[in-house]
Structure 1
Amino acid sequence: MYTLPVDCSTIVVNGIGYQQCSNGWYQPRYVGTTVQYVVVDPPR
């Protein structure tokens, strides 16, 4: 996923930044200079 929904918030858990949106949790991954967001399980 290259863009996130507009209703996301940045949450930092154990030093890792996540995007929490109404439809799930995402973590940014860099592919070269492009950021892609990967769906992840909610952090604990």
Structure 2
Amino acid sequence: MPSYSCPECGAAIKSANPIPAGKKVKCPKCATVFPIPAKDQAA
């Protein structure tokens, strides 16, 4: 299961499916909207 980290609060965001790099997601903890980093930068 892919996971990503919010750049603002550091919350872990897990996804059942990979999210394409560049797609914007909203952090469920702090509501910051940020783009998913390229695979080599994923948490």
Greater strand fraction, Structure 1 or Structure 2: 1
Greater helix fraction, Structure 1 or Structure 2: 2
Q: TM-score scaled to structure 2, two decimals? A: 0.26
The structure whose Rg is larger is 1
Q: Which has the higher contact order (CA 8 A, sep 6+)?
A: 2
Q: TM-score scaled to structure 1, two decimals? A: 0.26
